[in-house]
Amino acid sequence: MIRRAVRKIRRTFDEAVLATGLGARSDRRNVARWAEGRGGDAAGPHVVITAPGGGNIGDQALFEAFVESTSGPVVAVTSSADSVEVPAALAERVVVLVLPELVYGRGTARRPELERFARTVAGAASLSVIGADIMDGRYSLRASVNRSNVAAAVAALGIDTRIVGFSWNGSARVAARRALVSASTNGVVPMLRDPVSARRAAADGVRNIRETADIVFAADTVDTSSTSFVAGVTKPIALVNVSGLISRTFSQDDEFALIIGHLRTTGHHVILLPHVSRPKGDDLLACQSVYERVGAEDVTFVRELLTPAQIRGLTSIASITITGRMHLAIMTLWNAKPAITLATQGKVEGLMALIGAPELCVVPRAGFGADVVAAIDATIRADSPARRSIADALPRVKELARRNLEGLRTGHAVVEEVR
């Protein structure tokens, strides 16, 4: 009881300090000093602060889409050595710089990493922060604030600085909101990835908003080797993902037993497909639990995390996807296929508004299986309204995704890691 009270007091104090803006002023002063007055250089590298990654296909897809859509050298700033994997085809262009304290740290532990970052970004062509769903403080408040503060400090050097393709929660944390508002009024371009997020951010005072789409819509690689999982299957394919994050809240086994049973009766073969494997939300365990419940009849369980290109290979042959992970939905929509998606963190609503198919958004609550079954029935026909909306919207959505990377097909310098 006492420990819990102490943690609560400490957390409240930390949030109050983060909301003051003192960190932003300190970062700006220190980055300017360590960068030694050097501003942007069109021949320099593109620096990108990646999403957390490490067992998350969506975060890997964001990183790969960024590199694929730029030219010249890239410095990927990550929080751990396993945050991203650099595909062989991109390896000559990418240097990975591991700075765990830059985003997640504070105080003296963070200071040497901020200095190393400042010396790396000095003379860069650009800085991009992968915003995804990690800017509004709902996952990690300090990390959200630090991302905005670092971006603002780099923009003050005159370097093209943007936060690419991100959602904004309808109840963003106060410190995260203030940090983003400050960054947006000091040269950072906030690129919101859906109209709902853009309206929310504008209502919170964020300035200079540019509406885009998730940068994974700009990806262009497909690896069809993954289709070997269902070699010889002649039935229509349905991809089903069971989110380990949602399973932390309540068991989904009954709901997915109903969903998979319905897919079987409609003549589908189901691929159970994990998308994230982390200790605090492991889809492999959630999928395993459902697999044990429903059995192997017309079900293939993929027991590994695939690459983003392999996921797009699978979605190219799928008829429909049911998922609790948004980037699996995006990589399904990328192939003009419907993705019925369980909505968490207020981000899925905006995605479905962008493609004009709100009926694909389902709230993950007790009994949601019946809602998904109804959505399957409304979507299963080739001429369903949802499929027509996706086909009509997709060219524009891919164009919006490319807006995140406009001006980044430059850069010719050789990348050297700053120590």
> Same CATH topology for 11-212 and 224-395?
yes
Q: Is it the case that residue 58 has pLDDT exceeding 70? A: yes
Mean pLDDT value of segment 13-35: 91
Query: What are residue 162's DSSP bridge partners?
Result: 128, 189
C-alpha 19/C-alpha 174 separation (Å) is 7
Q: Which of 9-18, 254-263, 317-326, 355-364 has the lowest mean pLDDT?
A: 9-18
Q: What is the pLDDT of residues 368-388, one digit of tens each?
A: 999 999 999 999 999 999 999
Which pLDDT score, from 0 to 100, does residue 128 have? 98
Which pLDDT score, from 0 to 100, does residue 108 have? 92
Residue 305 DSSP symbol: P
pLDDT averaged over every residue in the chain: 94
Q: What is the pLDDT of residues 342-354, one digit of tens each?
A: 998 778 999 999 9
In CATH, what number does 11-212 get? 3.40.50
C-alpha 13/C-alpha 4 separation (Å) is 14
Strand order in the sheet with 237-240: 299-301, 269-272, 237-240, 318-323, 339-342, 361-362
CA 224, 228, 230, 233 torsion-angle sign: positive
Cα 346 to the center of its chain, rounded Å: 13
C-alpha 284/C-alpha 277 separation (Å) is 6
Mean pLDDT value of segment 251-271: 98
367: buried, middle or exposed (CB in 10 Å: 19+, 13-18, 0-12)? exposed
Q: Is it the case that residue 271 has pLDDT exceeding 80? A: yes
Where would I find the H helices in 266-379?
A: 283-294, 308-317, 326-333, 348-355, 368-379
Mean pLDDT value of segment 205-209: 98
Mean pLDDT value of segment 166-176: 95
Which pLDDT score, from 0 to 100, does residue 168 have? 96
**What proportion of the chain, given as a percentage, has pLDDT over 90?**
88
Which position has the higher pLDDT, 61 or 53? 61
**What proportion of the chain, given as a percentage, has pLDDT over 70?**
95
Q: Is it the case that residue 418 has pLDDT exceeding 50? A: no
Amino acid identity at 201: A
Mean pLDDT value of segment 28-52: 92
Q: What angle do CA 168, 169, 173 make, to 5 degrees?
A: 105
Amino acid identity at 415: V
Mean pLDDT value of segment 44-70: 96
Q: Is it the case that residue 292 has pLDDT exceeding 60? A: yes
Q: Which of 102-111, 126-135, 407-416 has the lowest mean pLDDT?
A: 407-416
Sketch the domain layout of the chain as residue ranges.
Answer: 11-212, 224-395
Which pLDDT score, from 0 to 100, does residue 1 have? 67
Band the pLDDT of 5: cuts 50, 70, 90: low
Mean pLDDT value of segment 326-338: 98
Q: Is it the case that residue 419 has pLDDT exceeding 70? A: no
Band the pLDDT of 238: cuts 50, 70, 90: very high
How many helices, marked H, and strands, marked E, lie in the chain?
16, 13
Nearest to 148 by CA among 159, 160, 137: 137
Which pLDDT score, from 0 to 100, does residue 410 have? 57
- How would CATH label the architecture of 224-395? 3-Layer(aba) Sandwich (3.40)
Residue 406 DSSP symbol: T
Which pLDDT score, from 0 to 100, does residue 6 have? 62
Residue 122 DSSP symbol: T
Cβ atoms within 10 A of the Cβ of 101, count? 18
Q: What is the pLDDT of residues 360-373, one digit of tens each?
A: 999 999 999 999 99
Mean pLDDT value of segment 251-261: 97
C-alpha 220/C-alpha 312 separation (Å) is 9
Strand order in the sheet with 46-49: 94-98, 74-78, 46-49, 126-132, 160-166, 189-192, 210-211
Mean pLDDT value of segment 165-190: 96
C-alpha 107/C-alpha 102 separation (Å) is 10
C-alpha 187/C-alpha 182 separation (Å) is 9
Mean pLDDT value of segment 209-236: 97
List Cα–Cα distances, 354 to 76, 109, 229, in angstroms: 29, 41, 32
Q: What is the pLDDT of residues 124-161, one digit of tens each?
A: 999 999 999 999 999 999 999 999 999 999 999 999 99
Amino acid identity at 120: T
42: buried, middle or exposed (CB in 10 Å: 19+, 13-18, 0-12)? middle
Which pLDDT score, from 0 to 100, does residue 14 have? 78
Cα 209 to the center of its chain, rounded Å: 19
